[in-house]
Amino acid sequence: MIDLHSHSNISDGLFSPTELVAHAAEHGVNVLALTDHDDISGLSEASQAARLHGIQLINGVEISVTWKKRTLHIVGLNIDVDNEALKTELASVRQSRLDRARQMASGLEKSGIHGSFEGASAYAKQSILTRMHFARFLVEHKYAKDPKSVFKKYLVKGKPGFVDHQWMDLESAVSLIVNAGGVAVLAHPGRYDIRRTNMLLLLEEFRALGGSAIEVVTGSHTAAQYVEYAKYAQLFGLKASQGSDYHGKGISFMEMGRLPALPSGCVPVWQDWADIQGLSSVQKLPNVQ
Ligand code: AMP
Ligand code: MN
Ligand code: MN
Ligand code: MN
């Protein structure tokens, strides 16, 4: 079982990197990528835990990007964690997240919700502050019953806690990943509010910039979307990735170890990763119709 997208409490997951790896092992995962938002500092702990559990850890990251006024996520896999440019850029994203969090808190303050910056920070283990941390604070204080409704009521466009933040541009994110020796993967494409014409433009641009895969099977795609994005991958000669996007109990789309196989015709992103060849047969099947 290969799972190439997951979060620890270094970003907005609930488990520490060690606990996350143990959880993955218990659920039958044998290749795991830890892909915290804009932070790679959980990877050394995770790789130690992975050795202990006989899991292969893939060094990953999930970078937020602004493309045509939309927020997209680009996952980097097999990145060099010592790459200086990557470390410097991610540090600056974390700083901008902090500024954004203060603006979010002031928006919430205006609608009568006090102390959300401190409240959200209390859930953050490190410097990364995400909307998920605000969601947990708001649920704890009974502003909504669960993270899903909290997002809808407070944290999306047009709502008091939303800040129209400017993330990294697509070109910078892809080149940072590629220059750090990694593979750039467009995360959960089915989650963006993008019509077909723009999706075609995005995939064209992403590939031209050096992107090489898209997530086809992810916790937030429906079965129909697995097929849809398998076709997009094929159309653009992009490889296919799969990952649960696990964050922890109650805040995840899918439990670990439950990912279905990639649709036939997909070229797995791990196709030429020598060390995991033994774990999965390369799928060389007829084209998706
Ligand atoms: P941020 O990067 O700070 O905007 O936070 C985004 C994170 O919040 C995502 O990575 C998800 O973990 C979570 N998230 C975003 N939208 C939702 C939603 N509608 N329901 C639950 N969690 C969400
Ligand atoms: Mn998240
Ligand atoms: Mn994401
Ligand atoms: Mn994610």
Q: Whose CA is nearest to atom 14 of ligand 1?
A: 132
Distance 9 CA to ligand 2 centre (A): 10
* Predicted pLDDT of residue 4: 98
53: its two tokens: 């559990």
Atom number of ligand 1 nearest to Cα 147: 21
* Predicted pLDDT of residue 194: 96
- Ligand 1 pocket check: which of 36, 64, 151, 218 to mutate, most ligand atoms within 8 Å of Cβ? 151
Give the number of the ligand closest to the Cα of residue 133.
1
Q: Which domains does the chain have, with CATH numbers?
A: 2-90+167-283 (3.20.20.140)
Q: pLDDT by residue (tens digit) across 122-169?
A: 999 877 899 999 999 999 999 999 989 999 999 999 999 999 999 999
- Ligand 1 pocket check: which of 71, 75, 96, 131 to mutate, most ligand atoms within 8 Å of Cβ? 131
For residues 24 and 7, give the distance between their C-alpha atoms in angstroms, rounded to a whole number.
11
Q: pLDDT by residue (tens digit) across 42-98?
A: 999 999 999 999 999 999 999 999 999 999 999 999 999 999 999 999 999 999 999
Q: pLDDT by residue (tens digit) across 176-200?
A: 999 999 999 999 999 999 999 999 9
Supply the DSSP symbol for 124: -
Q: Which residues contact 190 (CB under 8 A, 6 or more apart)?
A: 218, 220, 221, 222, 225, 228, 229
Pocket of ligand 1 (CB under 6 A): 12, 37, 64, 130-132, 147-148, 151, 247
Distance 62 CA to ligand 4 centre (A): 6
Q: State the helix-helix crossing angle for 116-123 and 84-110, rounded to 10 degrees.
A: 140
Q: Whose CA is nearest to atom 13 of ligand 1?
A: 132
Amino acid sitting at position 46: A
Residue 9 pLDDT level (bands cut at 50, 70, 90):
very high
What's the whole-number mean pLDDT along residues 19-25?
Answer: 98
Q: pLDDT by residue (tens digit) across 240-283?
A: 999 999 999 989 999 999 999 999 999 999 999 977 755 544 34
- Taking the whole predicted model, whether its pTM rises above 0.85 is answered as yes
* Predicted pLDDT of residue 287: 45
* Predicted pLDDT of residue 279: 54
- What ranges make up the beta strands (E) of 114-262? 168-169, 183-186, 213-218, 239-243
Q: What phi and psi values does residue 57 have, to the nearest 5 degrees? A: -95, 130
Give the number of the ligand closest to the Cα of residue 130.
1
* Predicted pLDDT of residue 283: 40
Q: Which residue has the tokens 């797995």?
A: 268
- Ligand 1 pocket check: which of 102, 130, 139, 149 to mutate, most ligand atoms within 8 Å of Cβ? 130
